[in-house]
Structure 1
Amino acid sequence: MYNVLESRLINSLLDQDSSATLLAKELNLSMKDFTTAVEQINLKYHLPLIYRQQDKVAINQEILEKHSRIIKILSQLDNRIFDRSIRKKIILLILLMKKEYLPVEVFIAANQVSKNTVIADIRELKEECSAKSINISYNRRTGYFISGDELHLRSLLVSSLMDVLELNNSVLILYRTGLFDFTSVQFLRTKLEILEGKMNISFADDLIRKLPYTLFSIIKRIKQFQVDLKEFHDLKGTKEFITVKDLFWEFDFLKERDLLYLTFLVMSSNVIVATQYDSELECLLNRCTDQFIQAIEKNLVIQFRDDTKIKEDLIAHLRPAIFRVKLGLHVINAIADVFIEEYWYFYEAVVNHIHFLSPIFDQLPLSKDEIVLIAMIVMGNVTPTSNAKTPFTGAVICKNGRAISHLLADVMSDWFPNIHMSHIMSKRQFEYVKPEVDFIFTTIPIQSAIPTFMIQPFLSEDEKKQLIQDVLDTIQKDPNLKAKEVIFSITSLIPEESKNDILEALEGFFGQLAVPKQEKNSILHSVSQISIREEMEWQQVIYSSYEEVYSRGSITENYIMKCQQSFYESYTTQIISNEVLLPHSLPENGVLEPDVQIILLRKPLIAPNQQSYRMIIALAPGYENEHVPWLVELNKKLRVDTKREQIFNARTSEELFEKIK
């Protein structure tokens, strides 16, 4: 299906995201040819499988996980060989989700390594599991089997799966195992989204992706191994249990004990927005948290800037942590070691006083990653906050839970004292709320016309300096932001009723100083926006028409996908005149700059309804209707028969440009 170049490009992206500049160099391509190769891959699927944001290029995980046909094709190109620790996790997944004894060939196929390597991995795994009272037995005739305490086996299944899901394009690894039905996984995600509304919570982006796989694997194991678990009856009768029970009604093999376990599993997940659970633990949780806060303040000789907020933040984290610890699950905190190195002072204080929280965990020990998350919350609430007004607002978007998100917002506030971080959100919250801010700082790709900066939870000193410079450059180049900054600096000297007029005048002034832009009433300003082609296939209309618009940086891949969806459903209404198609979508779906591409076809395009079309106007409309005056004038020309024929009979792009500009 792919040529050699496309296969190499995909292979380069399977293991890790990359820089478009570096990857193009590695493949000996110009940036133009690299962009063409990416577009060709996306055209084959009619989906933006590979996305670019700034210089970053990666496989679109959301697209990949929602389309099993793409998973199947890409898995054939996935020849990654993992280190021993990951190979052992994959072996565990297979053992824990299969009831029968398994031959060594099953593990060879999943890990793509030799028989000797697999046997060595299993030998090491047996020793590790033996220390946890879990047994991996072997029979020459039938193969390998795992056994032990069911609660420990389920915890091992969840932790192994979570580790695999941390890997880049992990869904392809899961496909190798043959264990997962990806349609069912997406079905479980839909159920979790319903549960969010019923329980008034919001899972972190990272968890809403991983939890459906976890539920699928546990439900599959429960169906095969009916074991009585007696540890979870303290949730019986709660709102949470009733909600989970109602959602999973069609799994008729799930007994009450199994539904109680699933309730614990759901409640162990990190959330961005939390609600108080109907649990007797609440009183104990409040008391222990108060004692912990007082001890930390005394030890560090500090006063938290907001006693209510630190308590709310801690309890929001501790509620799911209680269930994680009881299930024997360990949260993954990828930046734990970096945090300890950078902020040992806070980490050590939390370690020395964590015993105040022990009663809520039944005296069970907490993992290092869990303790670091608590330390992050402590540190994030120590940093002094200024009540001073700022000229700009910003949103911080993070896929992880509250601890990392709020710490990141505090760090951004320190680096940018002139930007008020007014929103701390998950990606899903951002797409729903669409906050009006001046800047976006995000750890995951976001499609927006607002100036957006990709960041990591921890940046090196050089990366920090570069980010600050990039933000300053953006302010200097944007007339609206520059005007806002000036108005803010002299706000005390300006009467309130005059501010809007002065702001408008300044925006115009700085706009004149900036690089001249095309007048708003004309989005057609260059011959490069004209294409004359011999013919076009109906299935390729959107991707072919928007190629140039995308390459100019005027739209995002999401905009193309939205056009694709709407056009084939309602192409009969997306016309501007007889024989002229006008595909388009809403600006908020990914228009970064108003733009248009006109494609004149020598051979008419035949639609499914047998209507023929001789021209396509691939429109990227402006947020302020900048495109409307030009479209009105074009429509006038196309309604006159003689002018329309002159347009359709243009021989060159230059001739066509002169007739419709």
Structure 2
Amino acid sequence: MLDDKTIKILYDIVIKEIHQVPYLIEKFSLSRRQFAYIIEKINAEFANDDEEKLKIENDVISTPLGFLDARRKYFKSYLHQDSMIITGQNRQDLLLFLLCQGKDYNPLDDAMEIIESSRSTTLSELNILKDRLSRRSIFIRYNRDRGYYIVGDEQEIRYLVIEKILHHVHSANGVDIISFFFKKRSTEDHGEIERFIQQLLEKYDLQIFGDRLRELTVGFSILLPRLLKFENFLLDDRVIDQSSSSYKFTRELCSSYGIYQYNNINYVYYWVKGLSSTSDLSNKESKVIVPLLTSFLRSFEAVSGVRVSTDSPLYMTLYHHFQSSYYRVMFKFPIVNPLLEMIQDDYFGLYNIVALSTNLSSGTYFKQISKDELAFLTIHLLVSFTELQKNSSVYRRCLIICPHGVGTSAFIQKELSKLFKGIDFYLPGQLEEDDLSKIDFIVSTVLDETIEKYDKPYIVVDPYMIYKRSKDLEKNIGQLIQPKSWDGINIEDILSIVRSHVSLNQFLDIQQSLIKYQIQSDEMNKEMEELPLLSQLITPNLVTLQIQASDWESAVYQTALPLITYGKVTESYVNEMIQTVKDLGPYVVITKSVALPHARPEAGAKELAISVGVLQSPVNFGNRENDPVKYVFGLSALDSHTHLEAMSELVELLEEDKFYHLLDSAGTAEEIVDYIKEYEQRRVL
């Protein structure tokens, strides 16, 4: 029998088609010897003869077609049967779901049945779970009258259950622990609860989709016994709008299942609000959400130089995000962002700007916001700022199946469109039913029945590894859409001739090169233009040291004067800088002693640039927390995104004490620019 790690590696090889040995070794923290041993175990379990065995050649796993087909059926079969592969972590989560249902009596036999294990294994898993839960002040108890049960802060228990549900909802490891749990044991018929919730959503015209809908239906089914029994906590009810569709939905859902306690009804209401959103800005909650969004956008403009108008599509996108995020954050509901690591690594510039913007924003909400929420906010901004350019000649059409949410789906669509210019990528809601038949292949983040109903070639991918594994994706997608002919030339004939003259690896490389050439035009094969760095925007002639300023207006004008002198902006742009502070207040003071004045591009920005002014004596801008200001950075931005990479550098530099010391001690402007260039080199390393 294969262990947990081996099963996960096999899944990556077979379903996700990850064949690069160094990547798998790094992902699973293995030595080469350990990895080779795992491949031997897989072969011993499944391969009937040498022709079906996995082999490692030049750091690539060779996967015979017969082996792949058989193992795909092996994993897909678990979608349709009552048993499944149960890992140690899965066993502990099953026990958690069992105990958190709050039943009157949970004997050891029930625990043994739910994880299909012996008495000794079950006791061992209970002890491991007990240790894990105790770190969160949740405790497993036992007595003869109740058997095993769980105690602790009720909101924390519910938070933990939903968090685990989200983990499994977002997981694409080929095992459906949630379906398994309901097949084994459930207080109510989960299928009936799911259907009833969907009917109520239609009745009250509420929109909850994908993973968020599954979170609600699964979480409500598992937590229902607790919602009927426990109410030892209080929730602020000042933002509840009893006339809203969300509240009417909640009341009918709760009353239909016997939930009448006031706090539990409110709990479900806030849960629903954290999963859904509406476009109505006139309702009661808008009085809470609009000030939060206004505070964030003002801070974001101060840090990035990007102004978002209230009539723009981005404003409504962000409103919807804050609308649901507010309830998740303030009423302690978990959120899991499967793209968090990717956003932090590959889009750290914008992520850092968003993080600083939330730090500068006022309100309890911003002090409690998680990294997952920050990453979702970054995704919304990133998708909005990026113009998706499509080739006029599209060779293939791809359907993206991703139940992880609208923002995540749009982000994946953007990334894939960027990587494969000759392919048109669609989300399910973007196509009419008739058009679905014209789809050539599918890219999915999960392996489930949805893929089967389309009867199209498919690949399964990790959403957060799309960018890092672009070469593997090119290979896998290329194999799915290999052309029959091209410009009158039969590609298969060419490849059949080539095959007899080269090695297998050379043949695969040539095949992939032909496919890549066929699906991408010359224009789209050009590398994307990199965003300018900070050292390209701050040049020595734009740096002014030892400025003598009598007040903040003088400080801004003298700092921005080189921008006028060297043709970066018009004088009206600088006047607009000053007027903006007068109109909107000292929001341009973004941190201690630092101001970042700017204006709208149409006010007179001519070139992308940043000027630097170091004052001889600090001046007050009227910002109680961060006055007085000694360092002024004047920004000339031409659009909403070109300067963001440079701004992210500046945000990082402003966290270094050495940078401030240099600004104070520098005798020439060149010293400051040289320091920025050295920093950029360190940043790359």
TM-score class, shorter-chain normalisation, is: 0.5 to 0.7
Q: Distance in 2 between matches of 1:369 and 1:402?
A: 15
- Residue 67 of structure 1 is matched in structure 2 by none
3-state secondary structure, aligned to 1:396 = strand
Q: How does 1:611-650 map to 2 (within 5 A)?
A: none
TM-score, with structure 2 as normaliser: 0.53
Q: Structure 1 residues 278, 187: closer, same or farther in 2, change over 3 A? A: farther
Matching residue's letter, 1:442:
S
- Residue 345 of structure 1 is matched in structure 2 by 349
Contact 1:244 1:263 (8 Å CA) reproduced: yes
Q: Give the Å deviation of 1:107.
A: 4.6
Q: Distance in 2 between matches of 1:465 and 1:192?
A: 42
Q: Structure 1 residues 426, 283: closer, same or farther in 2, change over 3 A? A: same
Contact 2:399 2:428 (8 Å CA) reproduced: yes
Q: Structure 1 residues 101, 14: closer, same or farther in 2, change over 3 A? A: farther
Q: Does 1:128 align with 2:135?
A: yes
Q: Does 1:219 align with 2:221?
A: no
Matching residue's letter, 2:471:
K
Q: Over residues 70-126 of structure 1, what are the superposed CA-to-partner deviations in whole Å (9 max), with x where a residue is unaligned?
A: 42xx15xx45333xxx65544443332124465566555545453663464255246
Contact 1:310 1:381 (8 Å CA) reproduced: yes
Q: Structure 1 residues 460, 146: closer, same or farther in 2, change over 3 A? A: closer
- Gaps in structure 1 of 5+ consecutive residues: 35-51, 65-69, 484-508, 516-661
Q: How does 1:380-529 map to 2 (within 5 A)?
A: 380-386=383-389, 389-391=392-394, 394-421=398-425, 423-425=426-428, 434=436, 440-444=442-446, 446-447=451-452, 448=454, 452-459=458-465, 463-468=469-474, 477-478=483-484
Contact 2:400 2:428 (8 Å CA) reproduced: yes
Q: How does 1:204-243 map to 2 (within 5 A)?
A: 204-225=209-230, 229-232=234-237, 234-243=240-249
Q: Distance in 1 between matches of 2:88 and 2:359?
A: 42
Q: How does 1:355-374 map to 2 (within 5 A)?
A: 355=359, 359=363, 362=365, 365-374=368-377
Q: Structure 1 residues 103, 397: closer, same or farther in 2, change over 3 A? A: closer
Contact 1:232 1:261 (8 Å CA) reproduced: no
Contact 1:105 1:115 (8 Å CA) reproduced: no
3-state secondary structure, aligned to 1:146 = strand
Q: Structure 1 residues 432, 217: closer, same or farther in 2, change over 3 A? A: farther
Q: Give the Å deviation of 1:414.
A: 1.4
Contact 1:185 1:213 (8 Å CA) reproduced: yes
Q: Distance in 2 between matches of 1:246 and 1:141?
A: 35
Q: Does 1:157 align with 2:168?
A: no
* Aligned pair partner of 1:296 in 288, 300, 308: 300
Q: Distance in 2 between matches of 1:387 and 1:33?
A: 41
Q: Distance in 1 between matches of 2:135 and 2:335?
A: 20
Q: Does 1:147 align with 2:166?
A: no
Q: Give the Å deviation of 1:320.
A: 2.0
Q: Give the Å deviation of 1:323.
A: 1.9
- Residue 187 of structure 1 is matched in structure 2 by 192
Q: Structure 1 residues 303, 369: closer, same or farther in 2, change over 3 A? A: same
Q: Distance in 2 between matches of 1:398 and 1:347?
A: 23
- Residue 610 of structure 1 is matched in structure 2 by none
3-state secondary structure, aligned to 1:157 = helix
* Aligned pair partner of 1:114 in 116, 121, 130: 121
* Aligned pair partner of 2:322 in 311, 314, 318: 318
Q: Structure 1 residues 381, 55: closer, same or farther in 2, change over 3 A? A: farther
Q: Distance in 1 between matches of 2:194 and 2:88?
A: 29
Q: Does 1:246 align with 2:252?
A: yes
How many residues are treated as equivalent by the alignment?
A: 445
Q: Distance in 2 between matches of 1:218 and 1:419?
A: 44
Q: Over residues 522-562 of structure 1, what are the superposed CA-to-partner deviations in whole Å (9 max), with x where a residue is unaligned?
A: xxxxxxxxxxxxxxxxxxxxxxxxxxxxxxxxxxxxxxxxx
Q: Does 1:19 align with 2:40?
A: no
Q: Give the Å deviation of 1:404.
A: 1.4
Q: Distance in 1 between matches of 2:97 and 2:192?
A: 21
* Aligned pair partner of 1:377 in 350, 375, 380: 380
Q: Distance in 1 between matches of 2:219 and 2:247?
A: 18
Q: Structure 1 residues 25, 205: closer, same or farther in 2, change over 3 A? A: farther
- Residue 619 of structure 2 is matched in structure 1 by none
Q: Structure 1 residues 406, 58: closer, same or farther in 2, change over 3 A? A: farther
Q: Structure 1 residues 292, 373: closer, same or farther in 2, change over 3 A? A: same
Q: Distance in 1 between matches of 2:201 and 2:365?
A: 28
Matching residue's letter, 1:186:
G
* Aligned pair partner of 1:28 in 33, 47, 52: 47
Q: Structure 1 residues 449, 390: closer, same or farther in 2, change over 3 A? A: farther
3-state secondary structure, aligned to 2:334 = coil
- Residue 565 of structure 2 is matched in structure 1 by none
Contact 2:351 2:378 (8 Å CA) reproduced: yes
Matching residue's letter, 2:181:
Y
Q: Structure 1 residues 430, 455: closer, same or farther in 2, change over 3 A? A: farther
* Percent sequence identity over aligned pairs: 16
- CA RMSD of superposed structures (Å): 4.7
TM-score, with structure 1 as normaliser: 0.55
Contact 1:230 1:257 (8 Å CA) reproduced: yes
Q: Distance in 2 between matches of 1:135 and 1:277?
A: 43
Q: Distance in 1 between matches of 2:231 and 2:387?
A: 53
Q: How does 1:590-601 map to 2 (within 5 A)?
A: none
- Gaps in structure 2 of 5+ consecutive residues: 18-38, 54-67, 494-685
Matching residue's letter, 1:114:
T
Q: Distance in 1 between matches of 2:223 and 2:272?
A: 12
Q: Over residues 354-375 of structure 1, what are the superposed CA-to-partner deviations in whole Å (9 max), with x where a residue is unaligned?
A: 146664x645502221211112
Q: Give the Å deviation of 1:514.
A: 7.0
Contact 1:13 1:58 (8 Å CA) reproduced: no
- Residue 203 of structure 1 is matched in structure 2 by 208
Contact 2:466 2:473 (8 Å CA) reproduced: no
Contact 1:154 1:218 (8 Å CA) reproduced: yes
Q: Over residues 360-403 of structure 1, what are the superposed CA-to-partner deviations in whole Å (9 max), with x where a residue is unaligned?
A: x6455022212111122222223244487453555433111122
Contact 1:17 1:58 (8 Å CA) reproduced: no
Higher relative contact order (CA 8 A, sep 6+): 2
- Residue 290 of structure 2 is matched in structure 1 by 286
Q: Give the Å deviation of 1:324.
A: 1.6
